Amino acid sequence: MKAPNNPFITGGYFSAAYFCDRVQESSEIIRTLTNGNNMVLISPRRMGKTGLIEHCFHQKEVVTNYHTFLVDIYATSSLREFVFKLGKELFDTLKPKGKHFVDNFFSVISSLRPAFKLDPYTGAATFDIGIGEIHEAEFTLEEIFKYLESYDKPSIVAIDEFQQISRYPEKNIEATLRTLIQKCKKSNFIFAGSQRHLMHNIFFSSSRPFYQSASLLQLAAIHEAEYLPFVRKHFQHNKKEIDEETILEIYRLFEGHTWYLQQIFNELYSVTEPDGTCTLEMADKALRNKLYAYRPLFQSTLNLLPERQKEILYVIAKEGKVSQITSGSFNKRHGLPSPSSVQTSVKQLMDKDILTSENKVYSVYDRFFGLWLKDEFGTGWKI
Ligand SMILES: Nc1ncnc2c1ncn2[C@@H]1O[C@H](COP(=O)(O)OP(=O)(O)O)[C@@H](O)[C@H]1O
Ligand SMILES: [Mg+2]
């Protein structure tokens, strides 16, 4: 495989050589699944869930013994769309395996047969169906699972951004899915999600169908002791230098949040000449440039917010992390309206994914946005 131009991958998965650590997590996931159990994988967005799933799917043990499918349902809003996505993912994975697989797919999943079309130019089979043509989503889903069960090898199906199902309008989605999944003897599942409270409600509320149906893995940041040598190794591989202090300052500024680190080191790698050294000043400049590039996006996000919400957002961005969101003294100190009104605004900002909270400590979800706000409305930041 050709090496990527830049070893710091910022989208998707390339190969194990460009993937840092996650040794323990990978082995836990693989062990859980190969022992016939399902897995729930939870972390904030951009921490590395999807990458980790891909990484597991590339391990020899998995490649040899399983068929793997990864379906991202972030943009879906109904069971019909879910079924469409899953059907298409299966089809796209099977197609390269040959005509026999495609024929078998449409023969078992008869309700998707209208999706079978031939490309008029190449003659290749395509999966082409309007979401409106999926009439009985539940029935099709049942057929899809039946198909997986009839397959030569067992399957691992990862459903990414799974919390989305709790927004579907159809009734009893969770019960339906749970029943179908429970019937699968040859398939195991990874349910990944970024919205912790929604995921927790699905899997850890005793009244819900998925209650305790899967083992939990909460994905934390990659440890600095692993990330530091990873960065140095990739710089040095191309005769570039970067000192430990620079790496650590950046790591700490972003609290090890994977995507942000990869973004910055990708940039720093590209601006460091071969035989050159990456300095702290270069890092500062690279980060400021990055925030500047996002400026229009950040401004339009702010434009869409009512003043009440902006007020509290600025305070949180200024402070970085806030725990006493509804205490009287906090409100007074920052000239905020009544605690109940602050609470409403905070909830609305959380629903929009602009704020996030961890054990009742609130912060700006997007770390670049947080730094930018700190510059605009606070005392700035420094690495
Ligand atoms: N272990 C890792 N080593 C290096 N880069 C990683 C690692 N895990 C994730 N990434 C990168 O970080 C970014 C965010 O990861 P992703 O898996 O998309 O996060 P999530 O699914 O949690 O939102 C991606 O660009 C991915 O390439
Ligand atoms: Mg993801």
pLDDT recorded at residue 98? 87
- 140's CB contacts (< 8 A; 6+ apart) are 83, 87, 109, 111, 112, 134
Ligand 1 centroid – CA 13 distance (Å): 8
DSSP 8-state class, residue 338: -
- pLDDT tens digits along 191-218: 999 998 899 999 999 999 999 899 999 9
Handedness of CA 249, 255, 261, 267 (dihedral sign): negative
Task: Domain 22-218: give its CATH code.
Answer: 3.40.50.300
Ligand 1 mutation target, pool 8, 9, 260, most atoms within 8 A of CB: 9
- pLDDT tens digits along 309-339: 999 999 999 999 999 887 888 888 888 888 8
- 120's CB contacts (< 8 A; 6+ apart) are none
pLDDT recorded at residue 140? 94
Q: Which tokens go with 219?
A: 């994905």
- pLDDT tens digits along 71-122: 999 999 999 999 999 999 999 998 898 888 888 898 989 888 888 888 889 8
pLDDT recorded at residue 337? 85
Residue 1 has pLDDT above 80, yes or no: no
- Cα angle: 163, vertex 143, 125; to 5 degrees: 95
Distance of CA 79 to the CA centre of its chain: 20
Quick one: pLDDT band at residue 130, thresholds 50, 70, 90? Answer: confident
Question: For atom 1 of ligand 1, which residue has the closest CA?
Answer: 20
Q: Determine if ligand 1 sits within 6 Å of the CB of residue 191.
A: no
Q: Which tokens go with 132?
A: 């409106």
Question: For atom 15 of ligand 1, which residue has the closest CA?
Answer: 48
Residue 175 has pLDDT above 80, yes or no: yes
- 302's CB contacts (< 8 A; 6+ apart) are 310
Q: What is the residue extent of each domain of the chain?
A: 22-218, 305-383
Residue 382: CB atoms within 10 Å: 8
* Nearest ligand, measured from the Cα of 24: 1
pLDDT recorded at residue 160? 98
pTM for the full predicted model: 0.94
Quick one: pLDDT band at residue 276, thresholds 50, 70, 90? Answer: very high
Q: What is the mean pLDDT of residues 233-238?
A: 96
Handedness of CA 181, 185, 186, 192 (dihedral sign): positive
pLDDT recorded at residue 338? 86
Q: Which tokens go with 121?
A: 């130019």
**Over the chain, what is the mean pLDDT?**
94
Residue 220 has pLDDT above 90, yes or no: yes
Long-range pairs for 224-230 at CB < 8 Å and ≥24 separation?
224/248, 224/251, 224/252, 224/256, 226/20, 226/21, 227/20, 227/21, 227/251, 227/256, 227/261, 230/20, 230/21
- 6's CB contacts (< 8 A; 6+ apart) are 266, 269, 270
pLDDT above 90 coverage of the chain, percent: 78
Task: Domain 305-383: give its CATH code.
Answer: 1.10.10.10
Distance of CA 21 to the CA centre of its chain: 17
- pLDDT tens digits along 14-65: 999 999 999 999 999 999 999 999 999 999 999 999 999 999 999 999 999 9
Q: Rg of the Cα trace of the chain?
A: 23
